[in-house]
């Protein structure tokens, strides 16, 4: 995954009031930590950070360049969003080193056509993996081509990208193909209609 460069500013205005002022200025309060370094409090341009996350997802590699000269390579560890506006309100960023392996979650992408009429049920949407920090895949492909109704795909059947080790239990089900509940057969509908017609006649007979 290619890295995105974002300029940042040191943040000295803390607390809820400070965070609100940072956001009003169009920036996101963030904390950079890891590798035994003292936590670094910074603010990032909201639009640039949001664009980076949209581009590479939760594992986007970001080269932070702080105005005081500090430079760090990070990946998002926790992104907090406003539940109503879906805007990023705070970010925890983990320092990584080139060549270092990290454990993270990678989303799944599903390809292939299953048996006609089959309904795909996704049991998992992401896998836990170990990968080199600068080569975390954007997604892992799950091929469902040819799966029949009643069959499933498990983790052990997924081919991981080169250099990626899947940590999720291999016996876990990733997706199943089920038969959707269709309309009632014609004979059942006819039987229900006949019962509906007989009911008033039976009621009238009972009344007599």
Give the integer Cα–Cα distance in Å for 9 and 173. Answer: 45
The domain made up of 102-178 is a member of CATH 3.40.630.10: no
- Reported as type and span, the H/E element at residue 52 is helix 46-56
In the chain, % helix, strand, coil (3-state, to 5) comes to 25, 40, 35
pLDDT at 171 over 60: yes
pLDDT digits (tens, 9 = 90+) for 4-61: 999 999 998 888 888 889 999 999 999 999 999 899 999 999 999 999 998 888 899 9
As a whole number of angstroms, the distance between CA 139 and CA 79 comes to: 18
Backbone φ/ψ region at 194: left (φ over 0), alpha (ψ -120 to 50), beta: alpha
Mean pLDDT computed over 156-185: 89
Q: Is 89:21 a contact under the CB 8 Å cutoff? A: no
110 touches 50 (CB < 8 A): no
**Domain boundaries, given as residue ranges, for the chain:** 4-96, 102-178
The count of other CB atoms within 10 Å of the CB of residue 26 is: 10
pLDDT confidence band for 192 (50 / 70 / 90): low
DSSP 8-class letter at 184: P
Mean residue pLDDT across the chain:
88
Out of 1.10.3720.10, 2.40.240.10, 3.40.50.2300, 3.90.400.10, select the CATH number for domain 4-96. Answer: 2.40.240.10
- pTM, to two decimals: 0.74
């Amino acid at each position: 995954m290619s890295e995105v460069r974002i300029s940042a500013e040191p943040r000295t205005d803390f607390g809820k009031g400070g965070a609100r002022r940072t956001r009003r200025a169009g920036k996101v309060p963030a904390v950079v930590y890891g590798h035994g370094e003292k936590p670094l409090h910074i603010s990032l341009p909201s639009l640039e950070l949001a664009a980076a996350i949209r581009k590479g997802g939760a594992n986007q590699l970001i080269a932070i360049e702080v105005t005081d000269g500090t430079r760090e390579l990070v990946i998002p560890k926790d992104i907090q969003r406003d539940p109503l506006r879906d805007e990023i309100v705070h970010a925890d960023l983990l320092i990584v080193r080139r060549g270092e392996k990290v454990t993270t979650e990678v989303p799944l992408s599903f390809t292939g056509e299953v048996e006609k009429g089959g309904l795909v049920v996704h049991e998992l949407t992401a896998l836990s993996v170990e990968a080199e920090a600068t080569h975390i895949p954007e997604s892992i492909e799950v091929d469902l081509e040819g799966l029949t109704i009643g069959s499933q795909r498990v983790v052990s059947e997924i081919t991981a990208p080169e250099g990626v080790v899947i940590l999720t239990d291999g016996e876990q089900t990733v997706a199943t193909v089920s038969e959707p509940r269709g309309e009632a057969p014609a004979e059942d509908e006819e039987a229900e209609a006949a019962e509906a017609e007989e009911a008033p006649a039976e009621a009238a007979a009972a009344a007599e």
